Structure 1
C-alpha cells in the first residue's frame, strides 16, 4: 500500500476530464447501479476497501496545492 505523494499522470488526468457525458449517460441506461454511490462495495468489496484506504493515505498534486491557498 502506498503512503504519501502520488505521482501525477498527465495522460490519466486528460482522460478523466475528456470522457464524454454521452458515454456515461449510455452506461447509466444499460448498467444497473452504474455511477451510484456505494456500488463498488457490492461489485468488488476487496477492491473498494483497497481504494478507500489508498484515498485516505495518499495525497495528490491538487491536495498539496490546496494547502498553499
Structure 2
C-alpha cells in the first residue's frame, strides 16, 4: 500500500454527522458490542487489518488543516 490522500465523500461525511445520538443509543442497548473498541477484529479480522493499514498509510484533506 502506498502513501496517498483519501478521497472525501460529502454524502458519507454528512450522514455520519447527522446520525442521531438517539439512534446510536438504541443500537448500543440492543446490539451487544455495538460501539465497543476492537469489535471489528472479532467481527471481520481481514477488514480490520486492511483498515488499520489504510488509515496509517493515507491522509485526508482535513488532516492538512490540523
TM-score exceeds 0.5: yes
What corresponds to 1:36 in structure 2? 36
Q: Distance in 2 between matches of 1:56 and 1:4?
A: 10
Displacement of 1:62 in angstroms is 1.0
TM-score between both structures, scaled by the size of structure 1:
0.87
Residue 19 of structure 2 is matched in structure 1 by 19
Q: Distance in 1 between matches of 2:27 and 2:9?
A: 25
Aligned residue-pair number: 66
Question: Under a length normalisation based on structure 2, what TM-score does the superposition of the two structures give?
Answer: 0.91
For structure 1, list consecutive stretches of 5 or more residues without a partner in the other structure. none
In structure 2, runs of 5+ residues without a counterpart are none
What is the RMSD computed on CA atoms of the aligned residues? 1.2
Deviations 1:24-69 (A, max 9, x none): 0011011101001001101110011011001101100111111xxx
